[in-house]
Chains A and B, each alone.
Chain A
Amino acid sequence: MPDTQLEQNIPYAIRAYSPEQLTDALRKMFLIRKFEEGAEDSYTRGLIHGTMHLSIGQEASAVGSCMSLTDEDKITSTHRGHGHCVAKNADLGKMFAEFFGKETGYCKGRGGSMHIADPAKGNLGANGIVGGGLPIAVGAALSAKRLGTGAVTICFFGDGANNEGAFHESLNIASVWKLPVVFVCENNKYGMSTSTERSTAVRNIADRAVAYSMPGRTVDGNDFSAVTEAVDAAVARARRGEGPSLIENLTYRWRGHSKSDRNRYRTKEEISDWMGRDPIVSMSRLLVDHGILTNDGVAALETEAEQVIKDAIEFAAASPYPKVEEVTRDVYTVQEAAE
């Protein structure tokens, strides 16, 4: 990349991606926001059962991290995974159908919000177990290396997960075997009610990288361009066969941990302060400032996202429920009878 003074002043994302790609990134950020607002509304109206974990406020981390991935590349996601699904090109109708427990949902109504996966697009799935995706991501990277597919795996996890044994074991294995995996920690300051200060012995989770001999970087996770710059470099390093990296995206969830959170462990001021750092607002400003979109163009993306969500909810609502008689289907693979 030419190294002129001028170019250096232009944010990475603007230099690295085409206007179409950047517009699509903002579209996805709106889709995530509207999807989750729609899910929340459906929950309030009693259309959704169980609980859900919303990532409103964290959209730049999900979309920015996946910018340089193709459908061949894999991700593992978390209980707070709707954004990762959308970033990996999920079908919003199938996501809503899963929420509604329908046969047309991603998991045919068996999984719900916490288990949405889209293997065809490289999304190996959300996870109900904190830290559950970490070793699986390393396994996917092992497959890619052994099978020579060239694919990279991004492993999303929260700050809380960094205190599970699975985190430490996974980073170590990935490092000693030089596997093509990028560990992306979405540090939103809390694991449920427990702040990183009260749970984690290091100041920055990226500091853990030193212990596993891999690069570690902490970035502003609400800054789309900063996320993209850090993760793209880590993905490129993984593709070159140089092994794993750990990226920490500092961000914040606006909503409670789940539907039953009473927000007793944080202040209203803290929440409103972070709401003033809306990643969608700053991404919109970035694209307008660089002449990629007009304000009307941004507004049109938002309206378009609202329509997509409306259609998705309609599709989900009209879809059939699974048949109770088929409840034990898919516990095992049905094998062809041997001749």
Chain B
Amino acid sequence: MNAHTPTALRELSYAEAIREAMDLAMAADDRVILMGEDIGVYGGAFQVTGDLVHKYGTDRVMDTPISELGGAGVAVGAALTGLRPIFEFQFSDFAALAMEQIVNQAAKVRYMLGGAVSVPLVMRFPSGSGTGAAAQHSQSLEAWLGHVPGLKVVQPSTPEDVKGMLLAALEDPDPVMIFEHKILYKMKGHVPEGYYTTPIGKAAIRRAGKDVSIVATSIMVHKALAAAEQLAGEGIDAEVIDLRTVRPMDHETVLASVRKTGRLVCVYEGVKTLGVGAEISAMVAESDAFDFLDAPIVRLGGAECPVPYNPELEKAVVPQTPDIVEAVKNVVKGRI
């Protein structure tokens, strides 16, 4: 923040930022509708839609029956034929019930039809652990969808980005899947007023550094930044990159960082094996940046098990700040 900033910057929570984006989009464009379970008078399971139903009515803020496959598919069909639906899964885990329409239909219909149609669909997925909701309500499934050509998959980590990326998703002619970590909903941060977009497919350098590149997604960005602060106190200067988009991935920002630092640590909450970090690592290993590496690449990801209920166990299955600190120290000090 520079000295010329006149007054304190406006702050919103992550959930409020999403709501503001939806509100702006709905006010500007009648084709935008919201669909999901309990997003009307209830305001959404995480109070993201809030009171929008009172402003736009039940014709545009539609409570679906508990029918994920049908609801998601209706959104696909509506997107194909002139509407701009924003579909909320109550928890990302329930997208498992709608995979058919997401993976076989939304992702592929344009290609299968030789480019004759497009699916301007936005889906929102509250995801991640930390709420004590156990194995079927705590997953991080972005890598599942990131595996599917035809989908774009984003993981905004700040209130500013989630607003901008949601608006960018609505401008996008193709299906965009937004993974929102549930623990971020209450996090506050600066959010610019009015309409703006944040590009899909572009990573952000959250902290510049020269010793090691930490590439993190979603809530892990905040843990990585906390780790970087601690590491700074120990003389290690970490660069923290917020990947922001899983597909299409911003190769150049990551590669440029690795060329500079020569060390790479990937941090993500999804299960480590075959997760987002596997793709980042492979992408670096396949590039010229590989020659710049001074240490093996390290991935910190979710444990190889479902998310347990007990709070201590739940914490243990996802990377925490001390895990990042330790991994970075090992990489920098050549201990692996």
Collect the chain B residues with CB atoms within 8 Å of residue A132's CB. 136
Query: Within the assembled complex, what's the spacing in Å between the Cα atoms of A123 and B44?
Result: 32
Query: Within the assembled complex, what's the spacing in Å between the Cα atoms of A291 and B42?
Result: 46
Question: Contacts A129-B94, A321-B312, A331-B306 known; A163 to B37 CB distance under 8 Å?
Answer: no
Is B309 an interface residue when CB atoms closer than 8 A count as contact?
yes
Partner of A110, one of B37, B41, B70, B308: B308
Question: Contacts A50-B309, A109-B308 known; A265 to B134 CB distance under 8 Å?
Answer: no
| Contact across chains for A101 and B311 when beta carbons are under 8 A apart | yes
Collect the chain A residues with CB atoms within 8 Å of residue B137's CB. 114, 128
Interface size for chain B: under 10, 10 to 19, 20 to 34, or 35 or more residues? 35 or more
Collect the chain A residues with CB atoms within 8 Å of residue B67's CB. 163-165
Considering the complex, which residues of chain A in the window 310-334 have a beta carbon less than 8 Å from any beta carbon of chain B? 321-322, 324, 327-328, 331
Nearest Cβ in chain A — how far from B38, in angstroms? 5
Collect the chain A residues with CB atoms within 8 Å of residue B287's CB. none
Other A-B contacts than A49-B310, A112-B309, 9 sampled, CB-CB below 8 A, are: A111-B134, A112-B133, A114-B137, A191-B37, A192-B38, A192-B42, A194-B65, A198-B63, A265-B42
Collect the chain A residues with CB atoms within 8 Å of residue B132's CB. 49-51, 112
A–B complex contacts, Cβ < 8 Å, 19 sampled: A49-B132, A50-B131, A50-B132, A102-B310, A110-B309, A128-B136, A129-B97, A130-B66, A131-B66, A161-B66, A163-B65, A164-B97, A165-B97, A193-B38, A264-B42, A321-B310, A322-B310, A324-B312, A324-B313
Collect the chain A residues with CB atoms within 8 Å of residue B65's CB. 160, 163, 191, 194, 199-200
Nearest Cβ in chain A — how far from B244, in angstroms? 29
Is B317 an interface residue when CB atoms closer than 8 A count as contact?
yes
1/0 per residue B308-333: CB within 8 Å of A?
11111100110000000000000000
Closest to A102 in B: B310
| Contact across chains for B316 and A324 when beta carbons are under 8 A apart | yes
Nearest Cβ in chain A — how far from B5, in angstroms? 36
| Contact across chains for A192 and B309 when beta carbons are under 8 A apart | no
1/0 per residue B14-44: CB within 8 Å of A?
0000000000000000000000011011110
| Contact across chains for B309 and A111 when beta carbons are under 8 A apart | yes
Is A205 an interface residue when CB atoms closer than 8 A count as contact?
no
Closest to B67 in A: A163
Is B232 an interface residue when CB atoms closer than 8 A count as contact?
no
Collect the chain B residues with CB atoms within 8 Å of residue A322's CB. 308, 310, 312-313
Nearest Cβ in chain A — how far from B311, in angstroms? 5
1/0 per residue B47-86: CB within 8 Å of A?
0000000000000000101111110000000000000000
Collect the chain A residues with CB atoms within 8 Å of residue B187's CB. none
Query: Within the assembled complex, what's the spacing in Å between the Cα atoms of A194 and B312?
Result: 34
Partner of A128, one of B41, B131, B135: B135
Collect the chain A residues with CB atoms within 8 Å of residue B131's CB. 50-51
Collect the chain B residues with CB atoms within 8 Å of residue A191's CB. 37, 65-66
1/0 per residue A144-181: CB within 8 Å of B?
00000000000000001101111000000000000000
9 A-B pairs with the lowest CB-CB distances in the bound complex, closest first: A50-B132, A112-B309, A128-B136, A101-B310, A193-B42, A163-B65, A49-B132, A199-B65, A109-B310
| Contact across chains for A327 and B94 when beta carbons are under 8 A apart | no
Nearest Cβ in chain B — how far from A273, in angstroms? 20
| Contact across chains for B316 and A327 when beta carbons are under 8 A apart | yes
Question: Contacts A110-B134, A194-B37 known; A115 to B309 CB distance under 8 Å?
Answer: yes
Closest to A198 in B: B63
| Contact across chains for A194 and B135 when beta carbons are under 8 A apart | no
Collect the chain B residues with CB atoms within 8 Å of residue A324's CB. 312-313, 316
Query: Within the assembled complex, what's the spacing in Å between the Cα atoms of A107 and B309?
Result: 9
Is A260 an interface residue when CB atoms closer than 8 A count as contact?
yes
B68, B306, B313, most chain A CB atoms within 10 A: B313
Query: Within the assembled complex, what's the spacing in Å between the Cα atoms of A111 and B68?
Result: 24
Query: Within the assembled complex, what's the spacing in Å between the Cα atoms of A102 and B313?
Result: 11
